[in-house]
Amino acid sequence: MATNKYYDAIITGGSYSGLAAAMALGRALKQVLIIDNGLPCNRQTPFSHNFLTQDGKPPLEILQTALQQVSAYNTIEFLTDTVISGQKTGKAFELETAGGKKILAKKLIFATGIRDLFPGIAGIEECWGISVIHCPYCHGYEVRHEKTGLLSNGEITFDHTKMIANWTKELTLFTNGPSVLTAEQANTLQQRGITIVETSIERVVHSNGHLTKIILNNGEELELKALYVQIPFEQHCTVPEMLGCEITPEGFIKTDMMQETSVEGVFACGDNAGRFRSVANAVATGTMAGAAVSRKLIMEEF
């Protein structure tokens, strides 16, 4: 089913970054459609931090306030659906949704986030964003001085371990198999009181997402309150790649300082375009994308 409306911009993803972009465009009097399936990646996270004026608020509370404020702009529309494909059609972009709609817009903004690829360890996913965490700047203060673990085994493990040690002196590094640390690196960490465990993890034990202990494959049990995890990810939406957007070696959508991708007229913001995963950063990059798109439209239409 094709729609007759030709939007100034379609924003795919209606969480923090997408809504920030929409607000910038709405305030510039542009016709905007937000397409979202209602599943933000941090929906399990109880509290958001390092966001000035919003510190300690539940992310879903921030999201509800954002939705209310963005909805006040009458040039912004919402569609609950999922974008599955896209193509350039003349001077316009055409997106197709899972619900069978085909929608045209002059510009596109993808605020679609990333999908975490959890390791095969029972309990990790249920604790994600609660006590199994990714960022000390988002969560470190709340678990300061607690028994903490870091699940990591790669090139950045040494530096990452040093970082986490800032928040706790009771730190255990779980390499989940033979460590790739050099003997010198391992010795440096151990001299700082950091335990290195190479035995693989069987499961994490938790209560409603709150970690209590780690069970190793040899049966050993270790009490923990928090576990930092470095896990791989993939783009939540493959449509930018379908349109020809360049992906960085790390797996992010490549953008310039204005959040425009390698395809002119296509923008990306939030977690899909950078490594710093926070609500504050999502809002900042979304605002930049919305302002950049509105400026581009204004200059083209003058």
251-282 as b/e, with b when 16 or more CB fall inside 10 Å? ebbbbeeebbbebebbbbbbbbbbeebbbbbb
Together in a domain, 108 and 144: no
Task: List the Cα angle 150/156/162 in 5-degree steps.
Answer: 55
Task: Write down the pLDDT at residue 50.
Answer: 77
Q: Which residue has the tokens 């316009």?
A: 92
- Look at the chain and count its residues: 302
Task: Write down the pLDDT at residue 2.
Answer: 54
Together in a domain, 182 and 160: yes
Task: Write down the pLDDT at residue 276.
Answer: 84
Bridge-based pairing of strands 102-110 and 92-97 is: antiparallel
Residue 44 has pLDDT above 70, yes or no: no
Residue 113 has pLDDT above 60, yes or no: yes
Residue 73 has pLDDT above 80, yes or no: yes
Select from 208, 229, 250 the last residue of a domain.
Answer: 229
- Token representation of residue 292: 């950049």
Closest CA to 239 of 221, 253, 225: 253
Select from 229, 244, 265 the last residue of a domain.
Answer: 229
- Token representation of residue 112: 């679609």
Show the domain range for 156: 124-229
pLDDT band at residue 42, thresholds of 50, 70 and 90?
Answer: low
Segment 50-70, tens digit of pLDDT: 787 788 788 888 889 999 999
Task: Write down the pLDDT at residue 4.
Answer: 67
pLDDT more than 90, % of the chain = 81
Q: What is the mean pLDDT of residues 107-132?
A: 93
Together in a domain, 184 and 38: no
Closest CA to 295 of 111, 76, 66, 27: 27
pLDDT band at residue 41, thresholds of 50, 70 and 90?
Answer: low
Task: Write down the pLDDT at residue 278.
Answer: 85
The conformation of residue 254, written as its DSSP 8-state character, comes to: P
Provide the total of helices (H) and of strands (E) in the chain, helices listed first: 8, 17
Select from 229, 253, 270 the last residue of a domain.
Answer: 229
What is the domain count for the chain? 2
